[in-house]
Structure 1
């Protein structure tokens, strides 16, 4: 066995001639390395988590992928580190400035609000929330998003009957409306560039994907039809039958044992694709050229304050109640719940790797985002509702209507998990300057957590931010013109540990910000024709898109975002 080779940036520079040749070749078709690429996103997975698990479990499948593939140890997700720009980046090669995707809950100054009718379309004022998540499903409380699969809540295996065309599960009345066509704008229509699925389709190849909302039909790209089989059970639906008198219960993210169960539905779809069937195990359309899924179990294990978990993921009957989520040892060691989730993901990957044809398949493992903070002691929860109300009221000089959601306010829309994005109704320099100054002067008491998971008071200052970009600064941060219809007017970078939420200790970590813990994730490429390397030079997760096309012998330059941003194939795969 050849010794593992650690390639640093200095070594890479010494190979500049070879790299220049490789860079020029990025635009060209090449001999295919594989017939199939399996892309797996383990949402929340930090590079440090993968390092810990591999060291603790040297015989694991994750360890085999790392030690026998190319492991990129200094990979970074797009900013904001939200699931939508993270996943879109992996399949387009682009950042928000090119894709137009800043968050799954964002704002457009050119679209009209959901519910705008043809009768009032021409007279309606542009400016609309663009919320592409569970809220646009025909029934957000059902695992099948309102498809109405009979007997689903008595036998969850029937979720395999879910349509492979999730666009049909979206209620168009809940979508923003185009001011030009007066028609609802589906997620795939909102994406500005094409995807690897579209390029594969163009060349007659089959594609498949599984994700957590019907809104992930965005990955189809502007064509709207490039994923042959898109399996998207709704993760934020009720675990119990929502039609019962008690109504909807907790969703699949509130207990890690339920999240693991939910992820298992998607794993079964992947196993069926590997066997050449559709996601339900029917027919023989053949194993897709590009296919894969995202795991949620690691992400919820990092975020939940307390959760049930399996001490042995192979023994699902042996549940432990109320373990602490997150990490121990000052954020350096996964706690019991997170260890369970990591073991679960490893075991599911074992099933996938065991089933696939290793002679013609490459596995790409990464994450849409990380999570911050890892150290529970760093956590400071700032009540975002109170903060936005205070900003609006201060701008309106405490008018009686300043908390009335039906009235226009300074803040047209805001999203703030562990980073602040704000869009304003008044975009004047005076308004933007006022908002920046107000937030930098905003202080109070938030919530933290003690080591036992109990809420404690924790003061904050500067609204929990370390820096604010406003107006032109925000546009420059993303590399777009000030007149861009989607760019936020204000961006707040969190102080270490700040999470914006409500007034309860409902979560101990989040993503969406610019912290290293949000963005430093692994990339591992393993499989047919891949030599083993450890690469320390910086790379981006949006380089996964051109790399997948190159592995299949297709031209990375056919991706519009690759053209716009000059996104390169991941290095050192030769």
Structure 2
């Protein structure tokens, strides 16, 4: 009997070992690498509706081909707030602001000291964290202060820009860590790792192109996630800033210039696709993960009027003073936006032509959408006046209530098409006061007629449908109690409301929670991807684990994926 038991036990152990081997084999089969390279493209501002319209209008386009042959997720949403930083960081980490710590590109931290602080002993924390053009050594130059000789007489020389964007940042513009009294670089501010860092851990090459050197944040906490980060400054002067007239308009103020700017980055992507560096030198091999963002669609949606190309592929004919945004109550892109969409499609064709599609998957999405699409819905509210009025009410209209040098209730605010406020007093009394004040705040704003002329537009409730204050704001984001980065007051905009200055400076914005802010496309196309159209609700944060899965890497190597249990996009075959 004892011998029989030993034989039975041996058979059982053998069975389980075989089962484990089969299980591992099945798992290995399931993780077969469908791609060696993933190209990620963000068309900032693009709505799912924009993609649908373009594919219908241009069935032979590259975008139409991607939709026709690839997997489309037509019910995707960006993180809230729908800003560039949380949107892009979400795509590359798998996390929302509560996890990444990134609530906006212009935010506030109660754990850091203001930029320029040199004496940290005893200093009270609380600082604006603004990682954008202001972080550059010279925000007026396309090269962020690298001082490339002859750049403003020959813009092709922008290819000489360093691929180590951190070198272009001015430490004096960065918030300061009170523990070390050292500046906090964007990559150090991110609380979780990125897909670029995971790729680097597996000895894979990475590359990215974006609009500010502050996109160093995408390097992740290690600071070493991206081998080649090409970041020409979009908010720099189009003309030579050293000329007697000084800096001129930046690249976003005219859509033809935005298209020229985007083309610099497309050239870098084409060079990467050929296995070169962004300048077209050095045979380094095609990156495992690479890509860029487009700005042309975003500025075409925001500009009241702009010059535009009739045919972006033949930019010899420029039309002047075209209306930005949409026509027919927001249903059809206007002439400037149509030009921008056509431009993006043509540039995608150039990138795709350089790819080996048997080894490459292309993922197309957007950091954010834009609202409103219907010009008639626009109401611009002067945010500076609103914040001054709140501070004055809290201080009982003291003599210094509008003095920017004084300490006020509002420590920092960013109000594009959503209100985010950080207060100096986080008490229940203060947050309730701010909420009550804003819900009672009314006045006259600015709208637009169908021809792009400014019109008066009254507003109530500070232009919001709802205010979240104090713990309500923390709960809205799912943040832990006492999160030092979460806003104290969050306002959800009424449809069409934009907070800006006192003139018709723009007709749409992002950063809020509107459907038009957050409903963007996700298209996955290329090697091994079967056609499907999926209308399940998905999040753009699911792009990160999807990219790693496509490369046969483990998504759980992403900290945010572990924390939020972010899944790869469903049914992707």
Which category of TM-score, normalised to the shorter sequence, fits these structures? over 0.9
State the shift of 1:482 in Å.
2.6
State the shift of 1:463 in Å.
0.3
The answer to whether the 8 Å contact 1:270/1:293 transfers is yes
1:84-124 CA-to-partner distances (Å, cap 9, x unmatched) read: 0000000000000000000000000000000110xx20121
The answer to whether the 8 Å contact 1:28/1:557 transfers is no
1:241 aligns with 2:240: yes
State the shift of 1:27 in Å.
12
Determine the C-alpha separation between the residues in 2 that align with 1:244 and 1:454: 33
1:191-236 CA-to-partner distances (Å, cap 9, x unmatched) read: 0000000000000000000000000010000000110000000000
State the shift of 1:68 in Å.
0.2
Structure 1 residue runs of 5 or longer lacking an equivalent are: 1-24
Determine the C-alpha separation between the residues in 2 that align with 1:315 and 1:400: 59
1:485-506 CA-to-partner distances (Å, cap 9, x unmatched) read: 0000000000000000000101
1:368-388 CA-to-partner distances (Å, cap 9, x unmatched) read: 000000000000000000000
Once the two structures are superposed, the pairs formed by residues 434-449 of structure 1 within 5 Å of their partners are 434-449=433-448
The match for 2:11 is: none
1:129 aligns with 2:128: yes
The answer to whether the 8 Å contact 1:207/1:226 transfers is yes
The answer to whether the 8 Å contact 1:468/1:492 transfers is yes
Determine the C-alpha separation between the residues in 2 that align with 1:254 and 1:322: 12
Determine the C-alpha separation between the residues in 2 that align with 1:29 and 1:52: 36
Once the two structures are superposed, the pairs formed by residues 64-75 of structure 1 within 5 Å of their partners are 64-75=65-76
Tell me the secondary structure at the aligned position of residue 153 of structure 1.
Answer: helix
1:185 aligns with 2:184: yes
State the shift of 1:524 in Å.
0.1
The match for 2:23 is: none
Tell me the secondary structure at the aligned position of residue 111 of structure 1.
Answer: coil
State the shift of 1:26 in Å.
11
* Alpha-carbon spacing, 1:246–1:29, altered in 2? closer, same or farther (3 Å): farther
Once the two structures are superposed, the pairs formed by residues 125-274 of structure 1 within 5 Å of their partners are 125-274=124-273
State the shift of 1:31 in Å.
1.5
1:531 aligns with 2:530: yes
Structure 2 residue runs of 5 or longer lacking an equivalent are: 1-25
Q: Which runs of 4+ in 1 moved over 6 A?
A: 25-29
- RMSD in angstroms over aligned alpha carbons? 1.1
Once the two structures are superposed, the pairs formed by residues 175-574 of structure 1 within 5 Å of their partners are 175-574=174-573
State the shift of 1:481 in Å.
2.0
Determine the C-alpha separation between the residues in 1 that align with 2:301 and 2:28: 39
Determine the C-alpha separation between the residues in 2 that align with 1:313 and 1:26: 47
**What TM-score results when the alignment is normalised by the length of structure 2?**
0.95
The answer to whether the 8 Å contact 1:143/1:235 transfers is yes
1:331-379 CA-to-partner distances (Å, cap 9, x unmatched) read: 0000000000000000000011111001000000000000000000000
Determine the C-alpha separation between the residues in 2 that align with 1:146 and 1:45: 31
The match for 2:38 is: 37
The answer to whether the 8 Å contact 1:28/1:556 transfers is no
Determine the C-alpha separation between the residues in 1 that align with 2:480 and 2:563: 15
Determine the C-alpha separation between the residues in 2 that align with 1:167 and 1:219: 11
State the shift of 1:480 in Å.
1.2
The match for 1:83 is: 84
Aligned length: 548
Between structure 1 and structure 2, the one with the greater Rg is 2
**What TM-score results when the alignment is normalised by the length of structure 1?**
0.95
1:129-163 CA-to-partner distances (Å, cap 9, x unmatched) read: 00000001000000000000000000000000000
State the shift of 1:29 in Å.
8.3
Determine the C-alpha separation between the residues in 1 that align with 2:143 and 2:134: 13
State the shift of 1:314 in Å.
1.3
Tell me the secondary structure at the aligned position of residue 562 of structure 2.
Answer: helix
